[in-house]
Amino acid sequence: MKLHHGLMTGAAVLALGTGMASAQSGDLKFPKGEGAFTWSSLEEFASGHDYSGQSLEITGPWTGADKALFDSVIAYFEDATGADVNYSGSDSFEQDIVISTQSNSAPNIAVFPQPGLVADLAARGSIAELEDDTASFIAENYAAGQSWVDLASFEGPDGNTGLYAFPYKIDVKSLVWYVPEQFEEAGYEVPETYEALKELTEQMASDGVTPWCIGLGSGAATGWPATDWVEDLMLRTVEPAVYDQWTSGELDFDDERVVNAIEEFGWFLQDGYVNGGREAAATTDFRDAPTGLFQFPPECYMHKQATFIPTFFPEGTVVGEDVDFFYFPAPSEGDLGQPVLGAGTMFGITDDSEAARGFIDFLQTPIAHEIWAAQGGLLSPHNGINAEVFANDTGRALNDILLNATTFRFDGSDLMPGEIGAGAFWTQMVEFTTGSADAQTAASAIEARWSELSD
């Protein structure tokens, strides 16, 4: 898992809202019947689920503030069903869940931040397959629903594909951050198409200002921001099925379509387009990269990064006022719709029980998403959520990107083998960014490493 995915948990709270949960399991953060919550969904759920006297163990990657927020959601499940739920978070969740499933000491439910881990455990028979009506619910009630069904479906121990997880709490990466006041003073308009984004980039450069701030630095993980660029550009230049073939290794990394996406990233690295030039882009720490937006005069006007990045904006910066964002737009030509790149978590049943199945049912209710969303830090493609519950306009606007998506795909490098997605892909993108390797050379080097793993 990339370093930045860890930052997308508690840090996202700062980007999306202001409230923090103080509730522990057993307490209700919001009194039932008050506010814009879809209380009817909780009442309907409660009428059909009674788990009095039953206990439920859940583990996942959420600790600290995120654990408190999830506990505040759990409290409503407990209140509705009479079940006793214990959630425990761990920074080493990925290792812990593998060990517990192998030793027959798994929790009832695990919260997975990586689809690849779900795939591994499903193939081993360590995760229970979910019901067909759960897949139908996702397809019908999540925006770009079939994308989510596909992302949560894996091969079981018998080789047949089934739904093994329920997506919940999603992060968006297809974002461009900017300072509205700077755009207004310069007469720039937010682009609504990919073509318009490139035209705006050219216009800024011709006006003598620098369009982009880019930073790939991240210690041992240096290079990952460039992989996000390439992944977003793949989704804007090829069909989603091709993206899936690429991330699974069915499509050669040096295929012309992948090379083209890398070259598209290179277009934004041209002289005059990026603050400090290509070398600076490759070495600037990703946490420092957006500071150029806030200088006077601005060192750059746009910065592409995910929902967590406001954590690293200057202290006191108000999202929606001092800085804002827009969707990294899709091409107007072709039939690729509005793809969104992101990350997120999935719930899987690792020790089957009636209450565990009931909790998956609970996640299908709007209230299970609204309680967290109202406190900040949660985005959801669930169409049934009342947008009024979001803590502010920023949360609503970010969630609209998910709701308007025609396709959603997980971060591609996280779906690849670690030595590729968190190795060769990172390093070769640094080589490409500095100009030490062209797109074809970089892609061929990654393909060669992937082939070695297969031998």
Q: What is the mean pLDDT of residues 412-425?
A: 95
Mean pLDDT of 228-245: 98
- Which position has the token pair 């992302």? 151
Residue 412: exposure state from Cβ atoms within 10 A (0-12, 13-18, ≥19): buried
Q: Say what percent of the chain tops pLDDT 70.
A: 94
State how far the Cα of 42 lies from the Cα of 184, in Å rounded to an integer: 45
Quick one: pLDDT at residue 454? 83
Question: pTM of this prediction?
Answer: 0.92
What pLDDT does residue 114 have? 85
In this prediction, residue 436 has a pLDDT band, given cuts at 50, 70 and 90, of: very high
* DSSP one-letter string for 381-434: -BTTS-GGGSSSHHHHHHHHHHHT-SEEEE-HHHHS-HHIIIIIHHHHHHHHHH
> In this structure, what token pair is assigned to residue 276?
């400090």
pLDDT recorded at residue 412: 96
For residue 414, give every residue at least 6 positions away whose Cβ sits within 8 Å of its Cβ, in sequence order, or none. Answer: 1, 2, 5, 114, 115, 116, 343, 421, 422
How far is the CA of 45 from the CAs of 29, 39, 74, 163, 312, in angstroms?
Answer: 19, 10, 14, 22, 40
pLDDT average, residue stretch 432-452:
98
pLDDT of 1 strictly over 90: no
Which position has the higher pLDDT, 248 or 3?
248
Q: Which residue has the higher pLDDT, 354 or 17?
A: 354
Which of the pair, 14 or 302, is modelled with greater confidence?
302
- SS3 of 120, please? helix
Asked if the model's pLDDT at residue 435 lies above 50, the reply is: yes
Looking at residues 19-31, what average pLDDT do you find?
61
Domain locations along the chain: 3-172+341-410, 175-338+416-454
Residue 269 CA, chain-centre distance (Å), reads 25
- In the three-class reduction of DSSP (H, G, I as helix; E, B as strand; rest coil), residue 16 is classed as helix
What count of residues does the chain have? 455
State the average pLDDT over residues 110-132.
Answer: 96
> Which pLDDT band, with edges at 50, 70 and 90, does 27 fall under?
confident
AA letter at 385: I
Per-residue pLDDT at 274 exceeds 60: yes
Place of tokens 């670690």: 418
Give the chain's mean pLDDT: 94
Q: What is the DSSP letter of 166?
A: E
Q: What is the pLDDT of residue 222?
A: 97
Average pLDDT over residues 249-276: 98
- Say what the pLDDT of residue 455 is: 79
Superfamily of domain 3-172+341-410: Periplasmic binding protein-like II (3.40.190.10)
Q: Does pLDDT of 19 surpass 50?
A: no
Nearest of 37, 85, 90 to residue 59 by alpha carbon: 90
363-383 residue pLDDT tens: 999 999 999 999 999 999 999
Phi/psi at 333 (5° precision): -90, 155
CATH level 2 (architecture), domain 175-338+416-454: 3-Layer(aba) Sandwich (3.40)
How far is Cα 215 from Cα 429, in angstroms, rounded to an integer?
12
CA of residue 193 relative to chain centroid, distance = 22
Question: Which residues, 6 or more positions from 241, have their beta carbon under 8 angstroms from its beta carbon?
Answer: none
Domain 3-172+341-410 matches domain 175-338+416-454 at the CATH topology level: yes
Q: Does residue 134 carry a pLDDT above 90?
A: yes
Q: Average pLDDT for residues 8-31, to the nearest whole number?
A: 52
Indicate the pLDDT class of residue 278, thresholds 50, 70 and 90: very high
Q: What's the rounded mean pLDDT across residues 13-24? A: 39
- Name the band, by pLDDT with cuts 50, 70 and 90, for residue 157: very high
Of 417, 407, 401, 422, the C-alpha closest to 227 is 422
Question: Taking 80 as the threshold, does the pLDDT of residue 7 lie above it?
Answer: no
Calculate mean pLDDT across residues 175-182.
98
* pLDDT for the residue 17: 42
Residue 12, pLDDT score: 43
For 45-97, write each residue's pLDDT tens digit: 999 999 999 999 999 999 999 999 999 999 999 999 999 999 999 999 999 99
How confident is the model at residue 81, as a pLDDT?
98
What is the reported pLDDT for 23? 39
* SS3 call for 56: strand
What phi, psi does 200 have (nearest 5°)? -65, -40
